Amino acid sequence: MEAAAAIRSTAAPRMPLAGRSRGPGTAAARAIPGSRGDWQTACAILSSTNDTPTPPAPKVNGQNSNKLAAPAIPGSEDAASSLDLVPAAGAGNLPRPLSISDLSPAPLHGAQLRVAYQGVPGAYSEAAAGKAYPGCEAIPCDQFEVAFQAVELWIADRAVLPVENSLGGSIHRNYDLLLRHRLHIVGEVQLPVHHCLLALPGVRRELLARVISHPQALAQCEHTLTRMGLNVAREAFDDTAGAAEHIAAHALRDTAAIASARAAELYGLQILADGVQDDAGNVTRFVMLAREPIIPRTDRPFKTSIVLAHDREGTSVLFKVLSAFAFRDISLTKIESRPHRHRPIRLVDDANIGTAKHFEYMFYIDFQASMADVRAQNALAEIQEFTSFLRVLGSYPMDMTPWDAAPASSSGSPSSSSDQQQRG
């Protein structure tokens, strides 16, 4: 229980709207009506209490978001000016992604769980949110940080964000955001990624001049596209489903997108080739984030994620960390180093070599043990003795669900609609 209390002590403070799902709440929360202006005022108060710096408000629908927000309340002008609670009209019935300047109010009591993800409908992150929380209301966000802020401001209940891919490696941006924000990892979900090559109906592969998608998706399909003879320009896009949406919205007949089959269905595109990833075992790991940590248990496999740093020993501290885990027979599943944003360079005075400069790093570590396990508690107690910073990002159940790789064609090459037509 001491471990659980230690984790809970790092939880982000509850916002005044907590009463919306747990009873009458505070007097301030009960006094908030449901009108647009009152919701803007309430969200402005929440935003003003959040210690995360808010960047300048971008334009929404061609207008400066400062003109769209309600009048600021005293003492919170900056926060109020960056909120627009009326979503712009999107194409069809698909929800428009939230942005930093465009946050909708939290659901009323009894509403289904709202889960934030980065991207547009049809993104793999949306599928991961549905797998993590079946029956949830998936809330698209245009940036990773917006998903973090949506949970912090009680706009969403959870966030599901990718942290690593079996082919493309780590998503460094989200590791940095895990340190910057005070959310907790409460679970993980592994999603097999099955890429398709999408284009407008009637477009043939030989007419393509470029392929667009998320940089990770382009990297995961690089060799397959070359084997298919698609030696065309490959351009990075914000996300996979967003690339498909862009082609449909602008009727680009010389462009294809790498995205999911669901994206093809949503945006009216045809699948030129199915299964274009270089490796059939292409899996992305997502973490589930919440405002409060969960209570660690020992009755099922758990994983714990931590981040640490040391001001003097630099990378040599890693040897001591590994020893602390190895001595207690605790398996590590991941080690990730990221630059120390506040101290990227460390000066070392040595009598033999003089003054030397070294890079300073933060280390992210995942290990297979629950914080309720005495071995994990003792390992972190030892590590804390020689580190200047140590934070538990979360202790959560491991995703043990078996997954099947996407079936490959008998020839080992991706199947395509044009090939099937020729064979028919």
The phi-psi region of residue 154 (left if phi > 0; otherwise alpha if psi is between -120 and 50; otherwise beta) is left
Distances (CA, A) of 389 to 179, 322, 408: 11, 16, 46
Neighbours of 282 (CB within 10 A): 22
User: DSSP of 278-289, one letter per residue?
Assistant: S-S--EEEEEEE
| Token pair listed for 108 | 């009323």
Length of the chain: 424
Dist CA 69 CA 40 (whole Å)? 8
The catalytically annotated residue of 224, 240, 284, 387 is 284
Contact 58, 65 (CB under 8 A): yes
100 DSSP 8-state letter: T
Contact between 276 and 196 (Cβ < 8 Å): yes
CA nearest 70: which of 49, 45, 52, 89?
Answer: 45
Strands 332-339 and 345-350: unpaired
CA distance 97 to 123: 12
Question: Annotated catalytic, 41?
Answer: no
Two structure tokens written together for 44: 């402005």
> Does the active-site annotation cover 319?
no
**How far is Cα 422 from Cα 419, in angstroms, rounded to an integer?**
5
Q: How far is CA 394 from the centre of its chain?
A: 15
* 3-class secondary structure per residue, 327-362: HCCCCEEEEEEEECCCCCEEEEEECCCEEEEEECEE
Residues in contact with 282: Cβ distance below 8 Å, sequence separation at least 6, in sequence order: 165, 166, 167, 192, 193, 194, 195, 220, 405, 406
CA dist., res. 197 & res. 192, Å (int) = 17
Task: Give residues with Cβ within 8 angstroms of 121, minimum separation 6.
Answer: 94, 95, 138, 140, 241, 266
Q: Are residues 19 and 30 in contact, defined by beta-carbon separation less than 8 angstroms?
A: yes
Half-sphere exposure of 75 (CA within 13 A, CB side): 4
Q: Tokens 């078996």: give the residue.
A: 402
From 148, 237, 286, 363, the catalytic residue: 286
The residues carrying an active-site annotation are: 284, 286
